[in-house]
Amino acid sequence: DAFNRLRWSIFEDVSTILVLDDPRSQNPYFSPFLGHAIAAEPASQIPLTKIAITNWYIDDYSLYDYEPPEPLLVSRADGGTITVADVVEQLSAYFASHREDIFMVL
């Protein structure tokens, strides 16, 4: 799975993401995500044009007046198949914009 090969600190810039090149190797080697072939791969086995992502930690957080953020709907402007890069880039922006919510529920 492409996402399992990513080494990503979710609040850091996308440029810091690394990809484990060969998950079967005894000597792991990491390459930058940006420009890596994995970024252009479809994000799912069945090609999708939209993917909804929610965080159940945030959604289930029960605080008297807390309103969880809307789920993230990953899509492409051209309506094409969602790639790993589409998910990573849009999810990164989503994490950054909801950073306080995420830290509050942890």
Question: What pLDDT is recorded for position 85?
Answer: 98
The whole-angstrom separation of Cα 43 and Cα 59 is 24
Question: 14-57: per-residue pLDDT in tens?
Answer: 999 999 998 888 999 999 999 999 999 999 999 999 999 887 66
Q: Please name which of 87, 104, 75, 103 lies closest in space to residue 11, comparing C-alpha atoms.
A: 103
Lowest mean pLDDT among 3-12, 25-34, 67-76, 95-104: 95-104
Question: What pLDDT is recorded for position 29?
Answer: 94
User: What's the pTM?
Assistant: 0.85
- How is residue 70 written in tokens? 């809307």
The answer on pLDDT for 10 being more than 70 is yes
